[in-house]
């Protein structure tokens, strides 16, 4: 099977290095946004990746080609450092808490209300992002239409990725 390397996209895009998303409690989450260049007034669907792995260095090398690919195909992409991680305010107390999901619901609503968003949002993630995509989808936010998850489990008790000695 031959691989196809895509180097030309239907859309050019711009990357906004940091945009603050302010939550109801005043906490600011840091986001990096890839926006496709579309006709003035045209709105596009968005994809959210919501993880704690520092957008400025932790996942930067893989973010640009992956999120740029989606933006090049007409999707806005919003990569958010979760509360207490990366450049975001707050304290990350543990993984997969209700606070994490509540924040994600606010982020989804924020994205849906942006002038460039058509109100349709997908969420994606691998490992931690896969877990929280499932958890957030279970909360059924109106704007969330699809999720893509990789390397996750829906049974954290029996199938989490951690090994206990």
pLDDT in tens, 140-154: 999 999 999 987 666
Over residues 103-139, the pLDDT tens digits come to 999 999 999 999 999 999 999 998 888 889 999 999 9
The pLDDT of residue 97? 86
What Cα–Cα distance (Å) separates residue 127 from each residue in 29, 55, 130, 133, 151? 21, 16, 5, 10, 5
Q: Over pLDDT 70: what percentage of the chain?
A: 92
Q: Is pLDDT above 90 for 25?
A: yes
Q: What number of CA atoms fall less than 13 Å from residue 159's CA on the CB side?
A: 7
Cβ count within 10 A of residue 8:
5
Nearest partner of 134 among 152, 119, 116, 117, judged by Cα: 152
Domains of the chain: 13-159 (3.40.50.1820)
Residue 162 has pLDDT above 60, yes or no: no
Q: Distance between CA atoms of 11 and 23, rounded to whole angstroms?
A: 31
Under DSSP, the state recorded for 88 is -
State residue 58's pLDDT score.
Answer: 80
Of 132, 115, 4, 147, the closest CA to residue 69 belongs to 4
* Torsion sign (Cα): 140, 144, 145, 150: negative
pLDDT confidence tier of residue 155, bands split at 50, 70 and 90: low
CA–CA distance, 127 with 98 (Å, rounded to integer): 18
pLDDT at position 153 is 65
Average pLDDT over the chain, rounded to an integer: 91
At residue 159, the pLDDT reads 64
Express as a percent the part of the chain with pLDDT over 90.
68
- What contacts 10, CB < 8 A, 6 or more positions away? 72, 73, 74
pLDDT at position 163 over 90 = no
Q: Who has greater pLDDT, 114 or 40?
A: 114
Q: Which helix (H) or strand (E) is 31 found in, with range?
A: strand 28-36
Q: Looking at residue 154, what is its pLDDT?
A: 64
pLDDT of residue 12: 95
């Amino acid at each position: 099977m031959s691989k196809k390397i895509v180097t030309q996209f239907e859309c050019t895009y711009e990357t906004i290095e940091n945009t603050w998303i302010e939550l109801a409690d005043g906490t600011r989450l840091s986001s990096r946004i890839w926006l496709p260049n579309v006709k003035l007034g045209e709105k596009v669907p968005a994809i959210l990746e919501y993880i704690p792995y520092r957008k400025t260095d932790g996942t930067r090398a893989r973010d640009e080609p992956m999120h740029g690919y989606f933006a090049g195909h007409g999707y806005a992409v919003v990569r958010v450092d979760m509360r207490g991680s990366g450049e975001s305010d707050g304290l990350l107390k543990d993984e997969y808490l209700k606070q994490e999901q509540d924040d994600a619901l606010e982020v989804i609503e924020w994205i849906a209300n942006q002038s460039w968003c058509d109100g349709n949002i997908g969420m994606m993630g691998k490992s931690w992002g896969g877990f929280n995509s499932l958890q957030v989808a279970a909360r059924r936010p109106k704007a969330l239409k699809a999720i893509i998850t990789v390397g996750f489990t829906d049974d954290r008790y029996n199938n989490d990725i951690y090994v206990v000695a």
